[in-house]
Amino acid sequence: MSKIHLVAAAVALVGSFTVPAVAGDFTGAGATFPAPVYAAWGAEYKAKAGAGLNYQAIGSGGGQTQILARTVDFGASDAPMAAEKLASGNLLQFPTVIGSVVVIVNLDGVAADQLKLTGPVLADIYLGKITKWNDPAITALNAGLKLPDLAILPVYRSDGSGTTFVFTSYLGAVSADWKGKVGAATSVKWEAGNGAKGNDGVAGTVKNAKGALGYVEYVYASANKLTTTSLTNKAGKVVTPTVPSFQAAAASADWASAKNFDASMIDTAGETAWPIVSATFILLPKNPTDAAQSAEVMKFFDWAYTSGDKFAEDLHYIALPAAVKDRVRAAWKAEVKDASGAAIWK
Amino acid sequence: MTVDTTAALPPGTLAPRSLATSGHVDLADKPFRIALSAAALLVLVLLGAIVVLLFKGGLPALTTFGLGFFVSADWNPVTENYGAAVMLYGTLITSLIAMLLAFPASLGIALFLTEVAPVSLRRPIGTAIQLLAAVPSIIYGMWGFFVVAPLMASTVQPALTAIFGPIPLIGMLFSGAPAGTGILTAGLILALMIMPFITAMFVEIFTSVPPVLKEAAYGVGATTTEVFTAVTVPYGRTALVGAVMLGLGRALGETMAVTFVIGNANRIAASLYSPGASIASTIANEFPEAGPGSIKLNALLELGFSLFVISFLVLALARFLVRNRLEG
């Protein structure tokens, strides 16, 4: 084959891979945590409605940047955006699915959910105050377990992540010391321990070192059968990380009075509620430049609310309570307007 | 992989031929020359654009925190207080460990290949080294994380503690809980990554030693060891330093592999087992969540600028040393 033929063949090959944008396709970018469920919904929705979702999991910060610059149809963020930023960016924020964060350990002879911890103990471990597994604070909670004289290695996410935001929010809610010294953010100044990149990095580091303790998203822990722990919730009950305990947290959150759907599911009062639960959010312009694209986005999430719960639960996410979904639909109608000021969602 | 000797030649050494050619060649030459000049200019423009972008992006961090940015060890995204000392320390110490491990090993391998190994072995080993140099860094990172780190935690670190632990001062470097990941592991992985690179250049340097010099040394009765130390190494000494500097330049900027194994903690501790952070790993970790227009983004860009300056100084030093040899 001559060179010219080769070039022609290469051009044809490249050309065949570029799929032209179909009318109705819409783009989103942001959070990595809900990316698997958005992908599943996107594939299912394309088969049913013909419109495709192009979602880029570039991280919550990136998602916020992109939607503020209006380079995508919607942004996605694990950590809720600050109210004033939402206002200045003219954005509507609404939740899609709920996820939870669980604690994992690597200890000989300790089975899943066997080890009992409390929020303050967890905070003290990450503050470097509790350094041994046989510390009285831990043994007092675990009368039946024989815990070794072994150093605790706390492991955290080194990359900025919504998971860290949720986990540090919880530690701040249960420990005044944590709130004062460290605080809550997508990445913080850790007082002790090792950082690892991503859920897989944290899980891998915990697996590598005896005596390690880390936090990961439940989706990840259940898929990889990691050794999780129990936690004591606000009601003083010991709860295990299971879907019913996450649903209990979602149900006991105060959605009615929450602004921008920023209802805290951290350390809720529910008797059986898992204490580290949080929603992941979509950011949608209230004054979209392209009303038709914005309508597609709302149609997609409406479909996901109505028929997507099954796919979400298959992937170990928790669906929103039905009442919350109706609140979101009402917000679409009231707040997202086209150029003439008419509601886009009807 | 070859040593870049032509780049060190005085400018114009290769040029005169085109000047001497006749008119009809010039016709074809001119557009070619313009195209080449444009390509060369593009490199300069790109480099300049990157420097300007990093400098401008980092400037707000510098004006906010002052020169204290480079000495403060506080990197706190919650209070938005940023200092680069931990990352500067982590970058330099991991590269130093890498050099301490990689330099003697590379020297040994290169001397073995050029002076000792039977000719039939030279090609396979030489090829293997070049292949190692071509392994993507993410592979080194994953291998380091899943294979080397557990091995460090279970075997190497306890053994090092047993050997060096009782010695005052040095013992402090090898104290603490063996977590597997940390400064030492990052240095080790970096050493393994730059070793093939440095070795390949060393081999080139050693084979460029004129055989007549070595033969003369053998002729007056020198042993193989004496030829190494008195002829081969001194002849290529400055080029060897240049090769090491290029390896160092690579170690300083290595990102993914280091991010996997350094432990990513914004603290400076005496122990080499303790986790740390390098400039590149911090940027890789924090960049996706750094908001638009935030001081964090400025601080990260300023970090990038610092790394650029460090790398530039290292490469300039390498150039200087290589040039010295050619002129002397």
ipTM of the complex: 0.73
pLDDT at A60 over 60: yes
Range B245-268 average pLDDT: 89
Q: Terminal CA-to-CA distance of chain A, rounded, Å?
A: 59
Tell me which of B233 and B28 has the higher pLDDT: B233
Which residues of chain A are within 8 Å of residue B77 when distances are taken between CB atoms? 160, 185-189
The whole-number average pLDDT for the span A190-200 is 88
Question: For position A94, what pLDDT does the model report?
Answer: 95
**Residue B28 burial (C-beta neighbours within 10 Å; 0-12, 13-18, 19+):** exposed
Distance from CA of B193 to the nearest CA of A (A): 20
pLDDT at residue A40 is higher than 80: yes
User: Which of B145, B147, B264 should be substituted to probe chain A, the one whose Cβ sees the most A Cβ atoms within 10 Å?
Assistant: B264
Grouping H, G, I as helix, E, B as strand and the rest as coil, residue B75 is: strand
Beta-carbon-side half-sphere exposure of residue B271 (alpha carbons within 13 Å): 18
Distance of CA A155 to the CA centre of its chain: 18
Please identify among residues 53-82 of chain B the ones whose CB lies closer than 8 Å to any CB of chain A: 74-79
- Give the span between the Cα atoms of B100 and B125, in whole angstroms: 23
Give the contacts of B8 (CB within 8 A, at least 6 positions apart). Answer: B319, B322, B323, B326
Average pLDDT of the segment spanning B211-228: 89
DSSP per position, B208-239: TS-HHHHHHHHHTT--HHHHIIIIIHHHTHHH
Interface of A with B (CB under 8 A): 58-62, 64-65, 68-69, 151, 153, 158-161, 182-190, 193-197, 201, 204-205, 208-209, 211-212
- Least confident residue range of A96-110, B25-39, B55-69, B95-109: B25-39
Q: Which residue of B has its CA nearest to A78?
A: B289
Comparing CA positions, the residue from A144, A195, A31 lying closest to residue B281 is: A195
The structure tokens listed for B206 are 């050693």
- pLDDT tens-digit readout, A128-149: 999 999 999 999 999 888 899 9
Q: Kindly state the average pLDDT of the residues B133-150.
A: 90
- Residues in chain B with CB shorter than 8 Å from the CB of A172 are none
Coil/strand/helix, residue B292: coil
Percentage with pLDDT > 70 across chain B: 90
Q: Which pLDDT does position B119 carry in this prediction?
A: 84
The pairing of strands A212-217 and A91-105 is antiparallel
| Model pLDDT, residue B3 | 44
Question: For residues A118 and A231, what is the distance between their CA atoms, to the nearest angstrom?
Answer: 5
Query: In angstroms, rounded to a whole number, what is the distance separating the alpha carbons of residues A58 and A63?
Result: 7
pLDDT bin (cut points 50, 70, 90) of residue A223 is confident
The angle, 0 to 180 degrees and rounded to 10, between the axes of the packed helices B237-253 and B183-207 is: 150
Contact with chain A for residue B281, Cβ under 8 A? yes
The pLDDT of A214-236, averaged and rounded, is 90
Q: In the predicted model, what is the mean pLDDT of chain A?
A: 87
Residue type, B104: P
Q: What pLDDT was estimated at residue B29?
A: 83
Report the amino acid identity of residue A251: A
Query: Lowest-confidence range among A155-159, B13-17, B62-66, B102-106?
Result: B13-17
Per-residue three-class SS string for chain A:
CCHHHHHHHHHHHHHHHCCCCCCCCEEEEECCCCHHHHHHHHHHHHHHHCCCEEEECCCHHHHHHHHHCCCCCEEEECCCCCHHHHHHHCEEEEEEEEEEEEEEECCCCCCCCCCEEEHHHHHHHHCCCCCECCCHHHHCCCCCCCCCCCECEEEEECCCCHHHHHHHHHHHHHCHHHHHHCCCCCCCCCCCCEEECHHHHHHHHHHHCCCEEEEEEHHHHHHCCCCECEEECCCCCEECCCHHHHHHHHHHCCCCCCHHHCCCCECCCCCCCCCEEEEEEEEEECCCCCHHHHHHHHHHHHHHHHHCHHHHHHCCCEECCHHHHHHHHHHHHHHCECCCCCECCC
pLDDT at A23: 54
How many Cα atoms occupy the beta-carbon half-sphere of B265 within 13 Å? 23
Q: Give the span between the Cα atoms of B76 and B225, in whole angstroms.
A: 54
B83 contacts chain A (CB < 8 A): no
pLDDT tens across B176-205, in order? 777 788 899 999 999 999 999 999 999 889
Contacts of residue B44, defined as CB under 8 A and 6 or more positions apart, other chains included, come to none
CA distances from B259 to B145, B184, B263, B277 (A): 10, 13, 7, 8
Span of A89-98, B77-86, B162-171 with lowest mean pLDDT? B162-171
Average pLDDT rounded to a whole number, residues B288-310? 87
Instruction: Give the global pTM.
Output: 0.79
DSSP summary character for residue B187: H
The answer to whether A172 touches A181, Cβ cutoff 8 Å, is: no
pLDDT at residue B13 greater than cutoff 80: no
CA angle, B171 as apex, B170 and B174 as ends, to 5°?
Answer: 100
Is the minimum CB–CB distance between B153 and chain A shorter than 8 Å?
A: yes
Across the range A95-115, mean pLDDT stands at: 92
Residue B314: which pLDDT band, with cuts at 50, 70 and 90?
A: confident
- Asked whether residue B296 carries a pLDDT value surpassing 70, the answer given is yes
**Amino acid (1-letter code) at residue B195:** M
pLDDT tens, residue by residue, A283-329: 999 988 888 889 999 999 999 999 999 999 888 888 998 889 999 99
* pLDDT tens, position by position, B51-84: 999 999 999 999 999 888 999 888 888 888 899 9
Q: Residue with structure tokens 């390098």?
A: B278
If pLDDT is split at 50, 70 and 90, which confidence band does B326 have? Answer: low
Look at residue B325 in the predicted model and tell me its pLDDT. Answer: 54
Distance (Å, rounded) from C-alpha B238 to C-alpha B321?
Answer: 6
Provide the pLDDT for residue A129.
93
At B81, which helix (H) or strand (E)?
strand B81-82
Three-state secondary structure call for residue B291: coil
Chain B partners of A187 at a C-beta cutoff of 8 Å? 77, 285-286, 289
Name A170's bridge partners: none
Chain B residues with beta carbon closer than 8 angstroms to that of A69:
292
DSSP state of B274: S
Question: Comparing C-alpha atoms, which of A206, A231, A202, A269 is closest to residue A138?
Answer: A231
- Which residues partner with B279 through β-bridges? none
What is the C-alpha separation between B190 and B249, in angstroms, rounded?
11
Q: Which residues contact A13 (CB under 8 A, 6 or more apart)?
A: none
CB A246 within 8 A of CB A228: no
Which of B82, B148, B175, B181 best tests the A interface by mutation, with the highest count of A CBs <10 A?
A: B181
Q: Give the range with max mean pLDDT: A168-177, A196-205, A217-226, A249-258.
A: A168-177
